[in-house]
Amino acid sequence: MRKVIAGRKYIFTVESSNFSFYIEALEPTTRRFSYINNLNPILSIFNVSIDDPKVSESQWKVKPLTCAFYFQKAISFLSDLDSREYIEGVLDEDRSLGEWEYTKPG
């Protein structure tokens, strides 16, 4: 499953397969992107502890039912304007710290 959600500042791609889940955020002007499912506010939404071993990975390897749960939860909060704007503010701060190392080709 794949869903793209356009925010005010970022384009979010939520991707879930049988055993893999991730959320990618793309800043369209610079084409810089990051996998964001390990950001603290998102971990909180998923009720995942910062000490969970999967947090160190940008793409999570989890069971199919967990993938489906994360996918639906991510679509729900990224579709909500207030939640999405909050996440975008966190991403602005994250980018300002130089945490976004990947660039998508034009």
CA atoms within 13 A on the CB side of 92: 9
- Structure-token pair, residue 8: 């005010």
3-state secondary structure at position 1: coil
pLDDT tens for each residue of 62-71: 999 999 999 9
Q: 88 with 94: CB under 8 angstroms? A: no
15 pLDDT above the threshold of 80:
yes
41: containing domain: 2-103
pLDDT tens profile 52-97: 998 888 899 999 999 999 999 999 999 999 999 999 999 999 888 8
Phi and psi at residue 49, in whole multiples of 5°? Answer: -70, 145
Structural domain total, the chain = 1
For residue 65 the two structure tokens come to 């039912």
Residues 6+ apart with CB under 8 A from 24: 12, 13, 15, 33, 34, 35, 36
